[in-house]
A and B are shown apart, each in its own frame.
Chain A
Amino acid sequence: MRQISVTVNGTRREADVEPRQLLVYFLRETLGLTGTNVGCDTSTCGSCTVLLDGQSVKSCTMLAVQADGHEVTTIEAMATNGELHPIQRAFHEHHGLQCGYCTPGMIMAADSLIREAAGPLSEAEVRIGLEGNLCRCTGYQNIVQAVMAASQEMQGGVKARAGKGGGS
C-alpha cells in the first residue's frame, strides 16, 4: 500500500492505495464517486474521462498513485450550487444523451476540448476532439450539437472580444 494525497473536486483526499489500483477505481470505490463510469478495459471508450489539473484524461489509463499531488475533477463537481454547467445544460436541451452511460465522460472531455480551443468549435472540430469517447446510443449527432452549443456559450465571448480588438 502507498499513501497518496489527491485533491478531488476541490477537497484534499488522503488514502492508502494498492500501487496497481487504477485512478477510476480509486474514485469509484475508495471515494464513492460513481458518476465516473467504466466501459472498457483498453482505454478506448472514454466513459471514465475526468480532468487532471484541468485536462481530460481517461482515469482507467492511469494509476491512482500517479494522481498523487494532483487535482482531479469529476462529473460530480460540474454543477455548482445547483446550477448545471453550460455543457450539462446543452446535453439536456439538445438530447445529447440516451442511456447516459457515456455522458459523464463525454461532458468532461467536452469541457477540456472547449476550454482549450481558441473560440467556438466547428462540427468537424467537435467530432475529432471527441474521438476518444464512444457512444452507442446517439450516433453522436446530438452530442455534437450540444457541444457546439456549449462551446458557443462558453467561448463565444472570446471570439467576439478578439474580433473587436482586432484579433489575436
Chain B
Amino acid sequence: MAVAERTIGTSPPRKEDPELITGQARYTDDLTMPGMLHMVVVRSPFAHARIKGVDASKALAMDGVVAVYTGADLAADWAGPLLMAWAVSEDLKNPPHWPLTKDEARHQGDGVAVVLATSRAAAKDAAEAVEVDYEPLPVVVDMEAALADGAPLVHEDQGTNKAYTWSLKNGDVDAVFAAAPVVVKERYVIQRAIPTAIETRAVIADPSPAMGEYTLWSATQIPHIVRVAMVVATGIPESKLRVIAPRVGGGFGSKLQVYAEEALCLLVAKKLGRPVKWVEERSENYLATHHGRDQIQVAELAADEQGKIRGFRFNIMVNMGAYLMIITPGTPLLGAFVYCGCYGGDAYEVNFTGVFTNTTPTDAYRGAGRPEATYAIERIIEALARKVGKDPVEIRRLNFLPAFTEPTPMPGGLSIDSGNYDATLDQALELAGYDQLRKEQQVRRERGDTKQIGIGLSTYLEMCGLAPSRVLKALNYAAGGWDAATIRLSPTGKVQVIAGTSPHGQGHATTFAQIVADDLGIPFDDIEVITGDTTLAPLGMDTYGSRSIAIGGVAVHRAAMKIVEKTRRIAAHELEVSDEDLDYASGTFSVKGAPDRAKTVPGLAWSAWTAHDLPDGMEPGLEETAVYDAANFVFPYGAHICAVEVDTETGQVDILKYVAVDDVGVVINPQIVDGQVAGGVIQGIAEALFEEAVYSDDGQLLTASLTNYEVPAASDVPSIVIGRGPELPSTTNELGVKGVGETGTIASPPAVINAVIDALSHLGVTDVPRPASPENVWRTIRSTRGGDGR
C-alpha cells in the first residue's frame, strides 16, 4: 500500500489564499447587518482635561442620528471596567478603565461620548457637532518627569504616577558586581512604536433582543479572551455571547487587546436593540489602539578582564500610558528572563518600574518585552567588547552557553529546550561574507570615504509559546496558557480541525492541515481548519506570543494521535488481531508480518460512523479533543548580521545586506516560516531606522497618521538572506517545534543599530538614538566630532 508523502517540511501553497487574492475574503468592515447603526466615538483632543459638560443637542437634531451617549450616561450600565489581566505585583496601581471616561480625559483620544446614526457619514458629522466643555489639566508625557516630585498626576486618586515595581534576581548580584574587574554601564532609550496593522480595528455587535443573545464580530487576535472580558464589562452571560474574529488584517499585538469599542458596541446594541458597527479610522487608530515598547533602560554587565560575563543588571522604566490595558504591566515581564541573551553568568537582576503618563496606553507589540531585552543585552555586550578590546564575534563566542540538546539552565532562571549558538553564528557569518565585509570596511576607513560600512551582530535568545499555565500563575497572570484542538472525521474521511488559536495572517489553516495530513495519512486538500469563532471553536486561548504552533499546533497533533488510537482499536477489531499487532504509518494500520492485511483511517471513519461492528463499549463517531498545556516555553535563537553603509555627511543609512539565521526547531512549512522571518525582520528594521511615536510636551501625538509615522515601503527596505541553523528540535514538545512569529522583530533592531555604530566607531561614536534616522545619525556624528549636535 502506498504510503502518503509527508507534507511536513514542504510548502504547499496556502489554503487561506484563494479568497484573499480575489477580494472575496470578508473582514469585519465588509459585513453589514439589517438595520445596522454606525457608531463614532467622540475623543478628547486634550491629553489631560476635566470634562465639565457635554452638550449633544445639536448632534441629536441632525438627520439620521439615533442616540448620543456620554461616559456619565452609560456609567450605571457597566458590570465592570475593561479587563486588566496581569496584576504583576502587590504594589500595582490599577485605576479602573471605563470604555468612556466620565470625569477626566487622560490621553489624547480618550473616549468621551459615542454617536449612533444610520450611516457612517451621518455619525461622523454628528460627532463633530457634540460640544464638550473641557478644562485642560497639567500634562506629563515623559517618564522621568512623571516620577519627579510634584509631577502632574495622571490618576489623582492614586497619589503617584508609579504604576508598579517588579524584580527578578538570581544569585548575589551586588557581590558579583563589587568583585568584578570590569563593569560596563549604558543607557538606552527604546522609542515608542505604533503597531499599525494595515486593517484598522472594526467591531459589529448584533443583538437578538428576544433571545437575549449577541454576536460580536471584531478584528481581534483574541475572540475567546474578548468574550470573557465582555462578560466582565457588560454582564451579558457567556452563554449568550458569541465572538467571531472573521478575516483579520494583521495584528502584531495591537489586536491582542480588549477594547472600549467592543464593549461600547455591545452595550449600545443592547440598549437600542439594533446591530451597531464601529470602524476605526487610521488617524484614530494612532490614538485609540495601543502602542508598544517605550522603555528607558540602564544596562550593566560585570565581567572578568577577558570579557567573560559574571553578572547582569538591568534597571528599566516602562511607559504604561494613561491606563493599564489587558497586559500593559506584564508586557515587559515577557522579556524579563532573556536579558541574559544566550550568554552564561553567575548573577542576574532585572528591575522594572511602570510609569503612568498622559499618553495612549502601551501593551504587547510583536515580540512584547523580548525585543527590549534583546536590545539591551545585544547593545551592552558590544560595549563590553569595546572595553576589553575584543571584536563582536569573539566576545559572543566567549560567552555563549555551550551547545546542548537537553533542557539546560540559563542565568535568567529558566531552563532552555535546545540550542547551539555557535552554529547559528557560524552560518550567519558565512552567509554574510563577514570577512569580506570587514575587508571592505577597512578599505573605506583607510581611504577616508564619506560613506562608511558598518557590520552589526545580534545573537539572540527568545522564549515563546505562551505559556505554561503554572508559570503564568506564578507571574500572577489571570488566565492559563493552554490551547485546544478538536479533530472530527466525516463518514467519508474528510477532516475538520477546530483549533483554539485565532490567526490573522500566520497560515494556521495550512500549517495545521499539514500536521494532520501527516498524522492521519489524509490528503492535505481533504482537511479544513476552523478558527476564530467561540461557538464553532469554543476552547481556545487565541494567537499571540508566537504560541500558535508551539501550543496550538501541538494540541492539533495530540488530537490527531487520539484519532489514531481510536481507529487502531477499530482496525484491530476488524482485522481480529490485538492492538499491539498493528503497525501504524501515515494513516494505515497493517498487521505485523502481514502488511497486506491493512485498514486506513478514512475507511475506519466510515466504520466509526456506521457503528455496525465497533469494539464492545466504544462510542460511535470519530471526534477527539486535546488540550495542551506546555511544561515549558520554547526558545528560538539565532544570529542576525546587518551590514550598513552610512553617509557620514548626511546621516543616511542604507542596508547593504541583512542575514537572519533563526533556529526555530522543526519547520512545518518552510515558505510560511520564511515569510514570518522576513516580515518580522523588516518590522524590526523599521523600528531601528524609521518609526517613532512622538508626543509634544502637552501630549499631542505628532505622528498620528501614516504620513508622519514612517512605516517603510518596499523601496525603503532590502531583501534579506535567510538561514535556519542546525534546526535542533525543541525538547518541550513532541513535534520539536518552536515559535517563529516574533524572532525577526526581536533580533533585528540591535543588529541594525550595532551596524550603524560600527560604521561610525572610528569617529568615536558609541551610541546612536533609535530610530537611526538621517537626522539622529547626523546629530550624533556632529556632537561626537565636538559640535553641539544641532
Contacts and interface: CB of A to CB of B under 8 A. Distances in A.
B16 to A, nearest CB: 7
B22 A88 contact: yes
Given A123-B719, A138-B679, A139-B683, A91 B21 contact: yes
A95 B675 contact: yes
B90 interface: no
B358 interface: no
Contacts of B198: 37, 39, 45, 47, 99, 101-102, 134-137
Interface in B191-232: 196-200
A6 interface: no
Contact of B199 (A88, A101, A107, A123): A101
Given A91-B21, A103-B21, A134-B198, A141 B16 contact: no
A114 interface: no
Contacts of B717: 139-140
B156 interface: no
Contact of A100 (B13, B16, B120, B744): B16
Contact of B21 (A34, A84, A128, A135): A84
Nearest to B672: A95
Contact of B248 (A41, A74, A99): A99
Contacts of B13: 92-93, 95
**Chain A interface mostly helix, strand, loop or mixed?**
loop
A35 B24 contact: yes
Interface in A115-150: 123, 126-128, 130-144
B238 interface: no
B546 to A, nearest CB: 14
Interface of A: 18, 20-21, 25, 28-29, 33-42, 44-45, 47, 74-76, 78-79, 84, 88, 91-93, 95, 97-104, 107, 123, 126-128, 130-144
A135 B705 CA distance: 16
A88 B249 CA distance: 18
Interface stretch (B321-329, B393-401, B648-656, B708-716): B708-716
Interface stretch (B336-344, B500-508, B628-636, B754-762): B500-508
B720 A97 contact: no
A97 B63 CA distance: 42
A44 B706 contact: yes
B46 interface: no
**Chain B interface mostly helix, strand, loop or mixed?**
loop
Contacts of A75: 22-23
A100 B707 CA distance: 22
A97 B282 contact: no
B289 to A, nearest CB: 13
Given A37-B199, A127-B715, A144-B719, A107 B678 contact: no
Contacts of A132: 713
B734 interface: no
9 contacts: A37-B27, A37-B199, A41-B281, A92-B13, A95-B671, A100-B20, A131-B716, A135-B198, A137-B679
A41 B283 contact: yes
A131 B715 contact: yes
A139 B196 contact: no
B714 A100 contact: no
B314 interface: no
Interface residues of B, number: 57
B388 interface: no
A134 B719 contact: no
Contacts of B683: 136, 139
Contact of A92 (B18, B199, B682, B707): B18
A42 B17 CA distance: 28
A93 B568 CA distance: 37
Contact of B705 (A41, A103, A134): A41
Contacts of A137: 198, 250, 505, 675, 679
Nearest to B744: A139
B598 interface: no
Nearest to A124: B715
Contact of A141 (B18, B250, B711, B719): B719
A92 B15 CA distance: 9
B25 interface: yes
Nearest to B716: A131
Given A38-B29, A75-B22, A139 B282 contact: no
Interface in B132-190: none
Contacts of A100: 16-17, 20-21, 25, 247, 249, 505
A47 B27 CA distance: 13
Contacts of B197: 99, 101, 136
A134 B506 contact: no
B479 interface: no
Contact of A128 (B22, B30, B681, B715): B715
A141 B121 contact: no
B121 A99 contact: no
